[in-house]
Amino acid sequence: MRNYATGASEAGLLEPNLTAVTKVEQIIMDTIKSTGPISFATYMQMCLSHPTGGYYMNPSNPVFGTKGDFITSPEISQVFGELVGVWLAHQYLVSSSNKPIRIVELGPGRGTLMNDMLRVLGTFKTTQSAVKDIRMVETSVAMREVQERTLRSFTEQNGWRIQWHNSLDDIPRDVEAFTMVVAHEFFDALPFHLLQKTHHGWQEVMISLTPDPAKPVGLRPSEATPSPATHSPLTKPPSSRFHHVLSSSPTASATLLGLSSTRFQKLPVGSRIEVSPTSFKIAHQVGELIKSDDGEHNLGCSLVVDYGGDHAFGSSFRAFKNHKIVDVFYRPGESDLTTNVDFGYLKEALSPNDQATFLLRMGLTQRVQKLQQAANNPERSKAIGSGAERLVDPTGMGRQYKVLGVTGHRNPKPSADERAQIDYPFITEP
């Protein structure tokens, strides 16, 4: 999920200029000309992760903050990251583990969330001394530099080591550590395949070049009318170099993905679903990192916070530019792309809660009161309150974001000392 300016008008937003082709757009056009239509997964991968022109890889793209294309929960209020830190500390304390803590964050952004989580873990005596290893999964060199600057002083002060990885594949399972995995707004940026159920089976909706009227096209345009998008684009190109086509027959990959969940098999003809095998694989890897061999020992916990729901989506694919929703074919490589997350596809242990429920249960109200009491002026106090309200707004982030927590074997009876450590409100104004 990308939080954007609600009610934003189209004023000031550049209309697509079909005479100006982005670097990634040209690569996609050449690929389609050479090999034929591409999947939505390939399009999304190229737009976001191309080594030199991808949205997250190009340092000239202002991704986060007021100058970027979206703002995330950690950037809105420090309380978000603090309460995630409380949840992590609680999982460690009730596990009665004496193993060192290893923290893994997938897609760390600017490092704000990790900074807030570490501040909380550094507050509790048990977790402060237990944190030994911090792993950041980040493919962008530019973003790694931003994260390093954000975390440098705090990690050096506590003697904590940070390592960066290109993939979760690079992080081995460690039975000698208690692994905490956090993925905030990570899964919504992973590639997906768009499938449509027909009388012949599951067929894949592909992306092709807008055809020259004088030339025949090998694939027929998609026949079904797509369901309304979750968010209607604020700006749509008057014409586009790309359009959707439906594969002429069921493909092996579409059939396998369509059969990958019993929920999909029950859908009627005409249904469209966005399926991300990459998300499924990574969720499985996360489970492997924290799963013990015998089921009797807790190797860790994980927390996934993202935009979505406990079901499949069929038309949630959207793009962001300058805090506005734009067409998904607008300036490829220069606009952020995202989809809703199917938590039912990720679920390993616990059912997803919405963000508001999670934060309120973790003591949001009490923490905000403490911060406001410590504020040195009315403006600061008001900003703290308004930031917290945005996190739990039932018409926005509070309900749109979902939270999935995965835990291993727990100690049902934590000691009195362990219970005392997890009382909160827990820390003072940093």
What residues does each domain of the chain span? 73-189+278-310+347-411
Torsion over CA of 82, 303, 137 and 161, rounded to 10 degrees? 50
CA 27-28-29 angle, 5° bins: 90
Determine how β-strand 178-184 pairs with β-strand 300-309: parallel
Pull the structure tokens for residue 351.
């059912």
User: In CATH, what number does 73-189+278-310+347-411 get?
Assistant: 3.40.50.150
Tell me what pLDDT residue 411 has. 56
Tell me what pLDDT residue 410 has. 58
Tell me what pLDDT residue 174 has. 93
Pull the structure tokens for residue 402.
């979902």
Pull the structure tokens for residue 146.
């931003």
**In sequence order, what are the residues at sequence separation of 6 or more whose Cβ sits closer than 8 angstroms to the Cβ of residue 138?**
107, 108, 144, 147, 164, 165, 166
Listed as ranges, residues in the chain with pLDDT below 50 are 1, 4-15, 65-70, 214, 216-238, 348-351, 423-430
Residue 114 C-beta-side C-alpha neighbours within 13 Å: 33
Tell me what pLDDT residue 363 has. 65
Whose CA is closest to 306, among 274, 363, 260, 352? Answer: 352
